[in-house]
Amino acid sequence: MQKLKEKLIELKIPAEQIKIKTASINEIKGIDLMIKECDVRFIITINALKEGWIVHLLTSWLH
């Protein structure tokens, strides 16, 4: 998860826009994701990785 976050940062996505949410890591705790001022744009989850959508998204960004 952290490696994926680091890759997104390498792709010039601001770190404050990327959060990880798993059973043991909860970077979105206490953040109101519904307010206009929320900087979070990407939430990395185990299920998203299992479904493969992040790989597809990264692949499309790299091409």
- pTM score above 0.75: no
Question: Distances from the Cα of 18 to the Cαs of 12, 43, in angstroms?
Answer: 11, 6
pLDDT value of position 20: 92
For the chain, which residues score pLDDT lower than 50? 63
What does the block give as tokens for 37? 């001022």
Range 30-42 burial, b when 16+ CB lie within 10 A, else e: eeeeeeeeeeeeb
Question: Distances from the Cα of 19 to the Cαs of 7, 63, in angstroms?
Answer: 13, 24
